């Protein structure tokens, strides 16, 4: 693997290797300390970030690399300077380039013009680092290959990466979305027989994992009111959560809009794993950096 732009880049063996490494790093956070000493990792943020930025900076430092944080207003990507020129310049300075962007095409442009590994920290099409942490969290409860996951809500970038990851590991996922908000067909085809797309909430019955995300992502604020009305039946409350299996866990990639897509009693439920999931972002990105650069 030279770049990590989508979960599919890993293949089944690569994803399994990454999950095993991430689990080992969680068990021993000091493992591989200093392994990337002398390396520099560029972290570009076109969108605001909490978990992604902190997990990436801490991960880099703990394995000895130096994180270089770049903000949108500093770089002027595609405005003050072309994407190709920025990629060529940063490639001369840095050992890896990790980017959180609005448009997925920027990642592809970077990968085309930089020899250093390019990592997708989030785009409008995929959120692959999040998916690795999600899958690790699921496996802490039950093997993926025997799990049924219900993703409830907007068929967005998080849903895309999750579908592909579960398919690679032999699990089953049901994307339960309002009509018109289903996942992109490209990712449905990539996930193949592992995914069912439906608007029927009965698909939640008996599942092992119930996962949701915000109804309105950054850049969609103008649609917020309309989306609230459309997505209201898909709110994960205690009644909906109880339709999963007796030991079903709840996941959310955060930040959560409590009272909107999920209620407090589910977010704080004894079987909610959202903060384990957030912690696993750190171990996943550390495993990825080691896999690409060590």
Q: Which one from 113, 235, 281, 283 is the annotated catalytic residue?
A: 281
Q: Which one from 113, 130, 174, 283 is the annotated catalytic residue?
A: 130
What would you measure as the largest C-alpha separation in the chain, in angstroms? 55
177 belongs to the catalytic site? no
- Report DSSP letters for 55-108, one per residue: HHHHHHHHTT-EEEEEEHHHH-BTTTB-HHHHHHHHHHH-SEEEEE-S-HHHHH
91 belongs to the catalytic site? no
Q: Which one from 51, 100, 252, 283 is the annotated catalytic residue?
A: 100
Between CA 180 and CA 33 the distance in angstroms is 47
279 exposure class (CB count in 10 Å sphere: 0-12, 13-18, 19+)? middle
Q: Which one from 129, 159, 177, 253 is the annotated catalytic residue?
A: 253
Q: Which one from 213, 227, 252, 273 is the annotated catalytic residue?
A: 213
113 belongs to the catalytic site? no
269 belongs to the catalytic site? no
Q: How many of the other CB atoms lie within 10 Å of CB of 145?
A: 11
Q: Which one from 127, 227, 235, 269 is the annotated catalytic residue?
A: 127
232 belongs to the catalytic site? no
Closest CA to 121 of 135, 142, 107: 107
Catalytic residue positions, numbered: 100, 127, 130, 213, 253, 281
């Amino acid at each position: 693997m030279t770049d990590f732009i989508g979960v599919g880049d890993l293949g089944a063996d690569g994803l399994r290797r990454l999950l095993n490494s991430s689990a080992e790093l969680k068990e021993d956070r000091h493992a591989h300390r200093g392994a990337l000493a002398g390396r520099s990792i560029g972290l570009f943020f076109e969108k605001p970030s909490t978990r992604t930025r902190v997990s990436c900076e801490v991960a880099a430092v703990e394995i000895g690399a130096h994180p270089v944080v770049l903000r949108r207003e500093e770089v002027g990507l595609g405005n003050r300077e072309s994407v190709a020129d920025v990629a060529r310049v940063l490639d001369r300075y840095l050992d890896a380039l990790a980017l959180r962007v609005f448009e997925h095409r920027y990642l592809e442009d970077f990968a085309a013009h930089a020899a250093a590994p390019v990592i997708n920290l989030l785009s409008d099409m995929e959120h692959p680092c999040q998916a690795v942490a999600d899958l690790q969290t699921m496996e802490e409860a039950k093997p993926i290959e025997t799990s049924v996951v219900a993703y409830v809500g907007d068929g967005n970038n998080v849903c895309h990466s999750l579908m592909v990851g579960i398919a690679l590991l032999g699990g089953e996922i049901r994307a339960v979305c309002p009509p018109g908000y289903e996942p992109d067909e490209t990712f449905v085809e990539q996930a193949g027989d592992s995914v069912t797309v439906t608007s029927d909430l009965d698909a939640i019955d008996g599942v092992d994992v119930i996962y949701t995300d915000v109804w309105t992502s950054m850049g969609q604020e103008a649609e917020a009111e309309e989306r609230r009305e459309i997505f209201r039946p898909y709110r994960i409350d205690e009644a909906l959560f109880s339709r999963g299996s007796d030991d079903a866990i709840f996941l959310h990639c955060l930040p959560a809009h409590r009272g909107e897509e999920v209620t407090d009693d589910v977010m704080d439920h004894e079987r909610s794993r959202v903060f384990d999931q957030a912690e696993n972002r750190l171990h996943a990105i550390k495993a990825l950096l080691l896999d690409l650069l060590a």
